[in-house]
Amino acid sequence: MTIDIEKREYSVEEYLALESGAKEKLEYFNGKIRPMPGGTPLHNEIALKVGAILLALVKQLEQKHKVYNSDMKIWVEGLRHFVYPDAVVVCEKPELYPGRRDIITNPLLIVEVLSPATENYDKHDKFMQYRTIPSFREYVYLRQDAVEGVAFYREEDTLWREANAFGTEGVLPLRSLGVELPLAEVYEGVEFE
């Protein structure tokens, strides 16, 4: 079923019921529902690769971590938002929204692959939303039109450090995990449109 969203406010329960039967992903913003634009093959390729690389990297760590793809939503409690990341890492064990198995409340690291339709939102508004989550420590965004990535790491409550990487020699430090993300692996075989 395709959703024709009215310009009215929805309760969390109405959103969850509506979203569970939808053919498209829907984000929730304190009563308002917005459909997510569909991902392109290029976007999906990069998101899948970064998820696979993260999975391999966390397997090497002493402390257990879990990696999830864009099928898991994140609950931003302080703002009453449900949003979809492209990839998310949690430490030890996911804490889930009550009564749900598809909504994480304790992300550690979040990755977004920028697309033309969502770039400004992902780089600014979504990042600001994620920053209200106490467990959240690192945000990575990757371009889908160039070999480029940026990582933001929470050093203190209100202090974030930025690291940039460019080209196939570029490596992003993922300080929340103590590992590095090589851009050559993320973009291997990617043919830019």
**CA-to-CA distance for 115 and 106, rounded, in angstroms?**
25
* Chain Cα centroid distance, residue 113: 8
Answer yes or no: is 193 within a domain.
no
Answer yes or no: is 47 within a domain.
yes
**CA-to-CA distance for 59 and 16, rounded, in angstroms?**
33
Same domain membership, residue 49 and residue 24: no
Same domain membership, residue 69 and residue 3: no
The β-bridge relationship of strands 138-142 and 179-182 is unpaired
Range of the domain at 110: 39-186
pLDDT averaged per 10 residues, the chain (length 193): 66 93 90 86 95 97 96 95 96 95 97 89 93 97 96 94 97 98 96 84
Same domain membership, residue 53 and residue 31: no
Burial of 141 (0-12, 13-18, 19+ CB in 10 A): buried
Token representation of residue 79: 């703002």
Q: What is the pTM of this model?
A: 0.94
Number of folded domains in the chain? 2
Answer yes or no: is 192 within a domain.
no
Q: 169-173 — which CB contacts under 8 Å span 24+ positions?
A: 172/140
Same domain membership, residue 81 and residue 12: no
Same domain membership, residue 51 and residue 19: no
Q: How confident is the model at residue 38, as a pLDDT?
A: 73
Same domain membership, residue 43 and residue 31: no
Answer yes or no: is 97 within a domain.
yes
Q: How confident is the model at residue 47, as a pLDDT?
A: 96
Q: How confident is the model at residue 5, as a pLDDT?
A: 64
Beta carbons of 84 and 36 less than 8 angstroms apart:
yes
